[in-house]
Amino acid sequence: MHGFANPARFLRMARWLLPLLLVPGLVLSLGALAWGIAFAPPDHLMGVTVKILFIHVPCVWLGMAGWSTIAVSSIAELVWRHPLAGIAARAAAVPGAVFTALGLATGSIWGRPTWGTWWVWDGRLTSFLVLLFLYFGYIALADAAQRDAASGGSAGRVTAIFGLVGAINIPIINRSVVWWNSLHQPPSITLGRSAIDGTYLWPLLLGALGFSLVFGAVVIARMRMLLAEIQTEARLRRKALG
């Protein structure tokens, strides 16, 4: 893993990896959405609103995957002091927050014709809203930590600890529909089992793969941006001192 710790080596790899993830990601996600909208049949209970599944579910999965990335990177930063781990965690925060917000918005739009309401304060929706607030807190803390690091401080560890502690919300979101009464349906897809018919499942999985590739491309783009900002700051400071 430390083979990728060298920023110069990472930047060389990121140059070809970014378009390799982004182009197939956009083609797959938009293609799967078109497939689902055009060809998936209406559900006997939800009617055509079932097609919102193809945009809502990948957004929700990636909202949670974003924080899982932050948690894993935070462990790598705290335990192995991996030089790029903190940058990877910061880079995953914004796309994670965006997908969480999109998951909440599309879910709310789905709830109105299906449940008759835009919002309910049940376990699933509330814990997912908490995830969005955790992202806001993490982004603000990471920005403050970067300014602190520029003046020789070590607040980066506080950000990593926040990333780890916030991960406790991920299993709560996942199990919320089992632990508490909810308008939200129970899990349809678990490891090795799916309650979803193949006509919905395949465009959904293909779309989720496409969205994941786009998420990976955005994380790499943001890592390149953060590295460039750090290198610029370091050079300007050296010039000012020397």
CA-based nearest residue to 175, from 184, 166, 162: 184
Per-residue x/- mask for other proteins, residues 72 to 111, rule CB under 8 A?
----------------------xx--x--xx--xx--xx-
Per-residue x/- mask for other proteins, residues 34 to 73, rule CB under 8 A?
---x---------xxx-xx--xx--x--------------
If the CB atoms of residues 110 and 135 are measured against other proteins, the closer one turns out to be 110
**How many residues at the interface with other proteins, by CB under 8 A?**
41
Q: Under 8 Å CB-to-CB from 43, ≥6 apart: which residues?
A: 49, 50
Structure tokens at 69: 């990335």
Amino acid identity for residue 85 in this structure:
A
If the CB atoms of residues 168 and 236 are measured against other proteins, the closer one turns out to be 236
CA-based nearest residue to 162, from 132, 146, 142, 144: 142
| Nearest distance in Å: CB 231, other proteins | 5
Crossing angle of helices 123-150 and 85-115, in 10° steps, is 150
If the CB atoms of residues 12 and 235 are measured against other proteins, the closer one turns out to be 235
Q: Where are the beta strands (DSSP E) in the chain?
A: 189-190, 193-194
Subset of residues 201 to 240 that bind other proteins, contact rule: CB under 8 A: 211, 214, 217-218, 221-222, 224-226, 228-229, 231-232, 235-236, 239
CA-based nearest residue to 77, from 169, 2, 171, 170: 2
| Nearest distance in Å: CB 58, other proteins | 8
Crossing angle of helices 169-179 and 123-150, in 10° steps, is 180
If the CB atoms of residues 52 and 142 are measured against other proteins, the closer one turns out to be 52
Subset of residues 143 to 182 that bind other proteins, contact rule: CB under 8 A: none
Cα(108)–Cα(147) distance, rounded to whole angstroms? 37
Cα(202)–Cα(208) distance, rounded to whole angstroms? 10
Binding site for other proteins (CB under 8 A): 22, 26, 29-30, 33, 37, 47-49, 51-52, 55-56, 59, 94-95, 98, 101-102, 105-106, 109-110, 112-113, 211, 214, 217-218, 221-222, 224-226, 228-229, 231-232, 235-236, 239
